[in-house]
Amino acid sequence: MSPTLLAAADGNPLPDLHIGDAVADAVDWITDNLEGLLDGISAALTFLVDLISSILLGPPPLVMAVIFAVLALLVRSWTFALFTLVGTLLIISMDMWEPAMETLSLVLVATLIALIIAVPVGILAAQNDTVSAVVRPVLDFMQTMPAFVYLVPVVIFFGIGVAPGVCATIIFALPPGVRLTELGIRQVDRETVEAGEAFGGTSRQILSGIQLPLGLPTIMAGVNQVIMLSLSMAVVAGLVGAGGLGQEVVTSISRIDVALGFEAGLSVVILAIYLDRLTGAIGQPTGRALLTKLTSRKKAAESAVGAGV
Amino acid sequence: MSAIQANGLTKIFGRRPQRGVRMLEEGADRAKLRKEGLTAAVIDATFDVAPGEIFVVMGLSGSGKSTLIRTVNGLLEPTAGSISVDGQDVTHLSKAGLREVRRTKVSMVFQHFALLPHRTVGENAAYPLQLRGVNKAEREQRAEEALGMVGLAGWGGSLPSELSGGMRQRVGLARALASGTDVLLMDEAFSALDPLIRKEMQDQLLELQSELGKTILFITHDLNEAMRLGDRIAMMRDGRIVQVGTAEQILNEPATDYVAQFVADVDRSRVLTAAAVMERPVAVVGAETGPKAAHKLLREHQVPALLVTGRNRRLEGFVWEEDVAAAVKTGADRLPLSGEPVIRVTPETPLIELFGDAASSRAPLAVVDEQGRLQGVIPRVTLLSALSVPDSVDAVPSDGRDGDGTGERPADGQSAPDTAGAL
C-alpha cells in the first residue's frame, strides 16, 4: 500500500456523500407530509389481514384442518392430504392454531399484493428490454438489502403492528415474482409466439393465449417463491408487532423458552411445507391429482362431443 | 397478377441497417458488412410467385431463406425493397394493416410445428379463426374440415403431445388451411420429420395442392424436396437468389458453379421427366406415306424404325426397316406396320420409370399427350446421356416446357470441383 493511502487511513480520502442521511431525511419528509396516505394504507392492510384471519379462525380448528386436507387431495394426492391432516392436528395440539392462522392471513395478504405488483411488472419487463434493465437492479436491491434495515423505516411510517409487517414482507417477497414472470414469458418458444403473430394475433391475444399459459409453470414457481419468502419474512415481522407465529418466536427468544420456540418454529415449518407443495402442484399438474383428472376428463368428453358433430 | 412479388428485397440485421444498404450498393460484400457488425441476411431478392404455384426457396442454413419468408407476412420488415401479396404492398403497413393481411391473406406452417401444447388438436386448428373472432360453432366446424383434409378427422380432442411428429405437422398444416388464406408460407415445414414421414407429407401436400390450388412459398434446405415439390425453385446462397427456374432448368442449366455443384448429387432419374429429355420426333411418317418414301427417310436418319402417325399427329404404330425394305421389293403400297405395340409414355413420367420400357424394345419410346398425339421420342442413347451431369448434357435438347428461368449457362464451362470448399 502506498504511503499516501496509509496516511489517508485515519481520515477518509473521499468526501462523505451522506447517503444514509439523505435517506433518513426522505423518510422524515414522507412521515411529515404523507401522513394521511400512510394511515390509509396502514388501515387497509390491517383490515385485510384481520378479515382473512377472522375467516380462517371462524370455523372450529378441526373443521379447518379437514378443509385444508381436502384441498390438498384435490390439488395433489392423498399422501399429501394425509400429511396435511397430521400437520394441522399437530399445530392444534401444540396450541399454535391461532398464531398460525394469523401468520397465514398475513402471508396471504402480502402474497396477493406482491403478485398484483410483480406479475404486471414482470410482463412489462419481458416485453421491453429497457424496463427489464431498469427493474433488475431495483430487484437486486430489494432482495439483498438486509431485511432488518427496512423494518426500521417501515415502523416509522406505519408504527407497530400488522401493517409494517405486511409492508416489509411485500418488499422482501416481491422480487422472485417479477423475475420468474419475466423469465417465464421470455422462455416461451420463439416459434410459437411467432405463430401467434403470423396468424394475426394482437399482442394482448398472444400474451393471454400463448405467453402466459406456456410460461405458467415458471410463473407459478415464482408465486411459490413469493409465498415461501413471505412466510419467512412474516416471522421476522413478529419483531415489529405483526403478531402470529413471529410473535411467539420473539417471545420465546426474550424468555429463553426453548419449548415455545420449537413449537412455534415447527408450526412455521408445517405451514411452509403445506403452502409449498400446494402451490407447486398448481404449477405442474401431476395427473395424479383429483382436480386435473376431473378437468381433463371433462375436456375430453367435451371435445369428443365436438368431434361427433 | 402475382400472388407474391418481391422487388429488390434486402434485409440487414444490426445497428443502423440502412448504412449496410448503401455499402452493398457501393459493391461491398457480405463479409465486409459483417466487419461493420451488420448481417446481410437477404440481398436484392427479386421474384414472382404465380397464383396456384408451389415456389420453393432452396438454400443451406445461413443463406437467408428463413428471413426471406418472414418478410412476406411482415414478421420481419425489409430494410430495402418491397414485397407485395396479392397486389398489396406489405412493406410499410401499419400494425393493424399487417394483422389484417396475416388474418386474411397469408398463413404459415412452422418447422417445429409451433402448436399450443395446452390446447387440443381441434383448438389448435381453430386458433387462427379464434384470433379473428369467428364464433365457436363455425370455427370448430372449419377446424374439423381442415383436419379431415390432412387425414386427421376425429383427432380433434387429442392433445398435441399425444401425436407423432408427422401428425403434429399435419395439425400445423390444418391450422394454416383452416385459416382459409390463399397464400401458404411453409418454413422448413418437413425438415424436422423422419425421411419416410417427410415423403408422405410431401405426397400429401402435392395432393392437397392439386385440389385446393393454394399459392405456396416453401422453404427447404433439402434439394430433393425442392425438386419434388417445386413448380419453380429459387436457389439462394449468401443472401442472394442465384437462380430461379424449374427443377429441370436448374439441373440442366445451372446458372453458377455453386448451383452445378449443388445439383451434382441429385438423382436425376427421379427429377427429370420424359418431357425434359425427349427429342423432336423426326423419324416419323404419316400413315398415308408409301414404303418408298419411308425407306428414304430411314436411310436419311440412319434409324432402325419409323414411327407412324395418323391425323392430328396421333400415334398409330411403327415400322421396322427390314419390313419397309421388303415392302419396297414387293411393290406394296401400304406401310407394313409392326405387330408390336409402341411403348407410349406421358410427358410427366420420371426417367426412372422409363428404363424398363426402354430395355424391352429396340424402338424408341414415344412420348404422347393425353389425346394420344405424338410429342417426342426418347431413343435409348438419349435416356442414358440424360443421366450424366451437365458437363456433358449439351446434347440434351432443352425441355419442352416454358419456364421463365433466369438461368444462364456459365460461359466458362463447369468447374464444379473448384467450389467443393463452398459446401
Domain residue ranges in chain B: 52-72+98-268, 275-386
The answer to whether A191 contacts B110, with C-beta atoms less than 8 Å apart, is yes
Give B210's contacts (C-beta < 8 A, 6+ positions apart).
Answer: none
The ipTM (two decimal places) reads 0.70
Question: Which chain B residues contact residue A190 at CB under 8 A?
Answer: none
Better pLDDT: B308 or A204: A204
Q: How many other C-beta atoms can be found within 10 angstroms of the C-beta atom of residue B7? A: 17
Angle of helix A244-255 relative to helix A212-236, nearest 10 degrees, comes to 30
**CA distance to partner chain B, nearest, from residue A304 (Å):** 6
Mutation for B interface: A190, A197, A199, A292, most B CBs within 10 A = A199
Tell me which chain A residue has its CA closest to the CA of residue B74: A198
CB contact under 8 A, A307 and B108: no
**Residue B20 distance to chain A (closest CA, Å):** 25
Residue A240: what pLDDT? 86
Q: Which residues of A touch B100 (CB under 8 A)?
A: 200
Q: Does domain B275-386 have CATH number 3.40.50.2000?
A: no
Domain A35-291: which CATH number of 1.10.3720.10, 3.30.360.10, 1.20.810.10, 1.10.520.10:
1.10.3720.10
Identify residue B77 by its one-letter amino acid code.
E
What's the CATH architecture for B52-72+98-268? 3-Layer(aba) Sandwich (3.40)
Chain B residues with CB-CB distance to A207 below 8 A: none
Percentage, residues of chain A above pLDDT 70: 88
Q: How many CA atoms lie within 13 A of A182 on its CB side?
A: 23
Question: In sequence order, which residues have a C-beta less than 8 Å from that of residue A264 and are 6 or more positions away?
Answer: A96, A99, A245, A248, A249, A252
| pLDDT tier, B408 (very low <50, low <70, confident <90, very high otherwise) | very low
How does pLDDT run across A35-70, given as a tens digit for each residue? Answer: 888 889 889 999 999 999 999 999 999 999 999 999
Q: Do A214 and B157 touch (CB under 8 A)?
A: no
Provide, as residue numbers in chain A, all residues whose Cβ is less than 8 Å from the Cβ of B146.
none
How confident is the model over A219-268, as pLDDT tens digits? Answer: 999 999 999 999 988 888 888 888 889 899 999 989 999 999 999 999 99
Least confident interval from A25-39, A202-216, B24-38, B271-285: B271-285
A123 with A266: CB under 8 angstroms?
A: no
Q: How far is CA B355 from the centre of its chain?
A: 23
Residue of A nearest to B105 (CA): A199
Q: 3-state secondary structure string, B251-310?
A: HHCCCCHHHHHHHCCCCHHHHCEHHHHCECCCCEEECCCCHHHHHHHHHHHCCCEEEEEC
**Using a CB-CB distance cutoff of 8 angstroms, which residues of chain B are in contact with residue A192?**
114-116
CB interface of B with A, residues 46-105, below 8 Å: 73, 75, 99-103
Cα separation, A196 vs B103, whole angstroms: 11
Asked if B64 and B12 count as a contact pair (C-beta separation under 8 A), the reply is no
Q: Taking CB atoms and an 8 Å limit, are A210 and B154 in contact across chains?
A: no
Does residue B13 or residue B406 have the better pLDDT? B13
Q: What is the pLDDT of residues B115-131, one digit of tens each?
A: 999 899 999 999 999 99
Residue A181 pLDDT grade (very low, low, confident, very high; cuts 50, 70, 90)? very high
Is the minimum CB–CB distance between B136 and chain A shorter than 8 Å? no
Query: What confidence score (pLDDT) does residue B217 get?
Result: 95
Listed by number, the residues of chain A in 172-211 with a beta carbon closer than 8 Å to a beta carbon of chain B are 189, 191-192, 194-202, 205, 209-210
Decide if pLDDT at B387 tops 60: yes
Q: What pLDDT does A99 receive?
A: 93
Q: How many beta-carbon pairs below 8 A join chains A and B?
A: 80
Please provide the average confidence, as pLDDT, over all residues in chain B.
Answer: 84
- B118 close contact with A: CB closer than 8 A: yes
Say which of A192, A196, A200 has its CB closest to residue B132.
A200
Out of A118-122, A148-152, B186-190, least confident range: A148-152
Average pLDDT value for residue range A11-26: 84
Q: Looking at beta carbons, which residues of chain B come within 8 Å of A210? A: 116
**B6-10, B90-94, B247-251, B377-381, range with the lowest pLDDT:** B377-381
Using CB atoms, pick whichever of B101, B114, B141 lies closest to residue A191.
B114
- CB–CB contact A201 B131 (8 Å): yes
A-chain CB neighbours of B108 within 8 Å are: 195, 198-199
